[in-house]
Amino acid sequence: EVQLVESGGGLVQPGGSLRLSCTASGFSLNTYWMTWVRQAPGKGLEWVANIKGDGSKISYVDSVEGRFTISRDNAKNSLYLQMNSLSAEDTAVYFCARDKNYCNSPVCYDVFDIWGQGAMVTVSS
Amino acid sequence: AIQMTQSPSPLSASVGDRVTITCRASQDIRNDLGWYQQRPGKAPKLLIYAASILEGGVPSRFSGSGSGTDFTLTISSLQPEDFATYYCLQDYKYPRTFGQGTKVEIK
C-alpha cells in the first residue's frame, strides 16, 4: 500500500525545537518532490515548504524561513522537518504530501496526491 | 505572496444540488491551480489539478474550470459524502498559497 506516515509531533515549549519525520512505504521517495503543509486548530491549510527529489531545490513560506529546515534521506525513504525557535503560532497539525508533479511541457504542476495522516505540534509553556 | 480568495464561505446545500465554489487569485496564475477536499479530522484529498484535470478515482460529478485569475469547482449533484471543506491551491509562484476554504454544509 502506498502511504506516508508522520512521526515526531508533541508538546514543546516556546523557543524549543522539534523534528518531524515522514516515512514512505509502497513507493520510492527519490523521484518525487515532497511538501509539508500545516493546519492550525480550526483554521485553513498553509503550505510550509517543499524539496525536490534529489534535494537540490528547496522553498519555504516566509513565516518559517530561517527557523525550519526541510530535508530528506532517500536511502531511508524519509522526509524531515526540523523546526527551531518555535512559537505558539506554529501550533498545528503538520502533513507531509507527495507531489507527483504533472508536466505538460513546458509547464509543470504541483499535484499532492498522497498525504500522511498528520502530526500534531503544540507549542505551549 | 499571491492571495487566493474563495467564495462563498460557508455554502449551504442539499443532496442532489449543483454546487459551484469560486476561487479568485490576486494576480494571473495561468491554470496553475488545484482543488482539495478535506473532511473533519482527515488529511486533504486531491480532486483536480492544472485547473481542470480530474485526479484518477475522483467521481466525475466533480469538475474544475478557469484560467488567469478566476476558477470554479463544480459538483454536479451533491452526495452525502461531499459535505466537507474545499480548498484551492495556486502553484504558479512560491510560496504556494491556499484559499481560506469553503465549507459545504447541509441545508
- Per-residue three-class SS string for chain A: CCEEEEECCEEECCCCCEEEEEEEECCCHHHCEEEEEEECCCCCEEEEEEECCCCCCEEECCCCCCCEEEEEEHHHCEEEEEECCCCHHHCEEEEEEEECCEEECCEEECCEEEECCCEEEEECC
Given A61, A109, A116, which is nearest B95 (Cβ)?
Answer: A61
Minimal C-alpha gap between A122 and chain B (Å): 16
Question: What single-letter DSSP state applies at residue B28?
Answer: -
Cα separation, A50 vs B77, in Å, equals 35
Cα separation, A112 vs A99, in Å, equals 4
| pLDDT score of B40 | 95
| pLDDT score of B64 | 98
Cα separation, A52 vs A31, in Å, equals 8
Q: How confident is the prediction for chain B on average, in pLDDT?
A: 97
Q: Which amino acid is at B60?
A: S
The contacts of residue B21 (CB under 8 Å, 6+ apart) are B6, B7, B8, B11, B72, B73, B74, B86, B102, B104
Measured between beta carbons, the chain B residues lying within 8 angstroms of A61 are 1, 95
Dihedral Cα A40, A41, A43, A49, nearest 10 deg:
20
With bands split at pLDDT 50, 70 and 90, how would you rate the model's confidence at B102? very high
Contact between chains at A111 and B98 (C-beta distance less than 8 A): no
Contact between chains at A112 and B44 (C-beta distance less than 8 A): yes
Cα separation, A23 vs A77, in Å, equals 6
Measured between beta carbons, the chain A residues lying within 8 angstroms of B97 are 47
Minimum CA–CA partner of B40 in chain A:
A42
Tens of pLDDT, residue by residue over B12-68, are: 999 999 999 999 999 999 999 999 999 999 999 999 999 999 999 999 999 999 999
Given A62, A104, A109, which is nearest B91 (Cβ)?
Answer: A109
| pLDDT score of B9 | 87
CB A2 within 8 A of CB A113: no
Question: Which residues of chain A register pLDDT less than 50?
Answer: none
